[in-house]
Amino acid sequence: MSEAKTDLAALLCSKLCHDLLSPVGAMNNGLELLADETDPEMQKRCMDLLADSARSAADKLKFFRLAFGAAGGFGSEVDPEEAHAVIAPLVTASGRTELEWSIPAGILPKRAVKILLNLVLIANDALVRGGKLSVGAENRGAEQEIVIRANGPKIVLDAAVRSALNGDLREADLDSRTAPGWMVRDLASEAGGTVQIAEPDGEQLIIGALIKH
C-alpha cells in the first residue's frame, strides 16, 4: 500500500472514531448515572439513554464498515438494499431529514456503493437544519451514474470538502473531515469516471458521480 493510501486509511479511521465519540461518550455517562441512581424513573431514563446511544453507535459502525471497509464481502458487487439499510438510520436519526430512495433492485459495483455512501455522508452533513435527501443511481450500459440531491432550509458544503471532491485539494491539506470527499474522487478517477457538483442555490445541493464498470 502506498504512503498516500495509508494516510487516507488513517484519516478515515480518525473520522470513524470522531463520529463514534458522541454515542459512546453518552453510554459512558449513562452508566455512571445509573450506578448512582436509585429512583426507578431516573433509572428508566438512564436505560433509555443507553439504548439510544448503543443503537446510534451500532448504526454508525454498520455504515462506516460498508463505506470505508470490506463489508459486503470481497466480491465486486453489492446489493443496494445493503446500502439502503445502513443509510436510512444515519439520515433519519435526527428526525429532521427525510430519505428518498430511488435505486432499482439488483446489484451495484462495490466501487459505486462506496462512492454513493460517502456522497450521502457529505450531503447529509450539508443539511445543517435537516430537509430531504434523495439518493438515486442508474445503469447506463458501460457506465454507472450516481446522484445525491439535498434539499433543505439551509445547506452548507464545506469549501475544503468541495475542493476534495473537485480534485483541487492538496494532499498536504487532507484531514479526517475531507477524507470521504477525497476517497470519492479517488474511486471515481480510478474507474475512469468523474465527480460533479452543481452550484448550490441556498436550498438545494446536487452531487453526482459517473463511473465506468
- Number of Cβ within 10 Å of residue 51's Cβ equals 12
Q: Which of 117, 94, 87 is nearest to 180 (CA)?
A: 117
CA angle 178–126–97, rounded 5-degree value:
135
pLDDT value, residue 202: 74
Going from the N-terminus, what domains does the chain have, and what CATH number goes with each?
3-212 (3.30.565.10)
> Measured between alpha carbons, how far is 165 from 179 in angstroms, rounded to an integer?
10
> Measured between alpha carbons, how far is 167 from 46 in angstroms, rounded to an integer?
46
State the cell numbers at 110: 462495490
CA angle 86–23–153, rounded 5-degree value:
65
pLDDT value, residue 74: 54
Please, what sign has the CA dihedral across residues 14, 20, 24, 29? positive
For each of the chain's 213 residues, which pLDDT tens digit applies?
Answer: 456 677 888 899 899 888 889 898 888 888 888 888 888 888 888 898 899 999 999 999 999 999 998 655 556 788 999 999 999 999 999 899 999 999 988 878 889 999 999 999 999 999 999 999 999 998 887 889 999 999 999 999 999 999 999 999 988 889 999 999 999 999 999 989 999 998 767 789 999 999 987
pLDDT value, residue 194: 94
Q: What is the CA 110 to chain-centroid distance, rounded?
A: 15
pTM of the predicted protein model: 0.89
- Number of Cβ within 10 Å of residue 44's Cβ equals 11
pLDDT value, residue 71: 56
